Homo-oligomer: A and B are copies of this chain.
Amino acid sequence: MDDPFVIVGGDAAGMSAASKAKRENPDLEVIVFERGEWVSYAACGMPYYVKGTVDDLDDLVAVTPEEFREGRDVDLRTNHEVVAIDPDTQTVTVEADGEQFDQPYGALLIGTGARAIQPPFDGLDLEGVFTLRSMDEADAIEDDVSAHDLETAAIVGGGYVGVEMAEALTERGIEVSIYEMLPQILQPFGEETASVVEDHLEDQGVSVHLETAVDGFEGDDRVDEVLLDGGDRAEPADLVVVGVGVAPNVSLAEEAGIELGPTGAIATDEYGRTNCDDVYAAGDAAEATNVVTGEPDHVPLALTANRAGRAIGTTVAGEPTPTGGTAGTAIVKAFDLGAARTGIIDEERARDAGFDPVSVTIEAPTRPHYYPGATELTITLVADRETERVLGASLVGRDGAKRIDTVATAVDAELTVGELLNLDLAYAPPFSPVWDPVLTAAKVLSGTLE
């Protein structure tokens, strides 16, 4: 390959690919174009900057631009925006400092990420109304909270960002309300887990408003109210964070004739290849294969982006490497609780994928009754009735939410409930009861399958 490996976007997927490609093949020229200033930052850490757990926004940067340039010999160009891709000539058009130039590529990775969805709310441009997708936005929210004596905040959307920001802003002394259109928060976690989190949020002073549509925001210059129920009702809000989900940034790809998949993200094969020769896509802009359904899925999470980027870097360096699939595994902290999920939990989604889902929800302690500090874990475990294959799980508790990894592994390995039940998991009183809660869930689910 004579022309360089060009990467569009300098975050998780892009920088993982750049680093790995250079490590595998130091002679390969790697150029990364990033339209902003920040590269390789931990977006998932941003709520903890607002909360005050993380002192400095720079702490969220995993690897600095200097380290990429000097330590890893990656030609990283910030404030460079790729405005067009031409797959026929294998060239990208780049804009920087008001000028445009063309850059040929031997291989191209599109890692353009995703953006916060902005619903058509009135008053989105009022002062004090934010989304939380970029480091600059995290910075702006923190500045705003520090600069004003805010009493109330409205969070629109009860997803990860909503729940994490509810904790962060409560910690900053603000009275927080979450407004969620659906009958539950944390939709991908299933209603049993969500319900435990909702109760805990209320216990911590957060008002959780379910099945509540937001229409917009009002105020003079600065927001002071959130409008609800078609505008019939208003609640006070000195600060608003809109976190209703993200959409993949695909316009650059689309305009170049690169195919999108059924989810609206860029379609890729198991090596992260798009329909255009030598063009790869990874991260929040791209689809990944769901390990349960085998179908394309769009789960914009950090590990999937890092891993796919790393695999593509290896492939471009000369050793074809599959990107791996996604089980949609996720974990979120909500004050004293950890909630986690993996695989397919939603019954309708399971049926759409051809399964006949059966599930149980149990409560089980994380330690034996006699050992101090035992807490309850609520686990929902889902399997297919005919094959008894484990499809997914969700769990929540004060301790032990990383136990979801056991189920994530079982889901990926296509274990049955009986095989899950027979796993030799670690037991000693300070760590677990004899039957780990995951095994207890498998026991109960196994009983319903007979």
Contacts and interface: CB of A to CB of B under 8 A. Distances in A.
A202 to B, nearest CB: 21
B430 A338 contact: yes
Contact of A325 (B319, B401, B406, B422): B422
Nearest to A330: B426
A59 B369 CA distance: 8
A266 B340 CA distance: 42
Given A434-B303, A434-B306, A408 B426 contact: yes
Contacts of A322: 422
Interface string A396-412: 00001111111011101
Interface in A329-364: 329-333, 338, 340, 342
Given A306-B435, A324-B422, A325-B422, A428 B332 contact: yes
A26 interface: no
A436 interface: yes
B431 A401 contact: yes
Interface residues of A, number: 69
A275 B438 CA distance: 34
Interface stretch (A40-48, A69-77, A95-103, A147-155): A40-48
Contact of A429 (B48, B412, B419, B423): B48
Contacts of A412: 419, 422-424
Contacts of A332: 428
Contacts of A160: 428
Contacts of A42: 368, 370, 429, 434
B325 A432 contact: no
11 contacts: A301-B427, A303-B435, A307-B421, A307-B422, A330-B428, A400-B402, A401-B426, A402-B431, A408-B426, A409-B415, A413-B413
When A and B form their complex, which 9 residue pairs have the shortest distance between CB atoms, in order from nearest? Answer: A324-B422, A413-B413, A331-B426, A327-B424, A59-B370, A409-B409, A333-B430, A329-B424, A405-B406
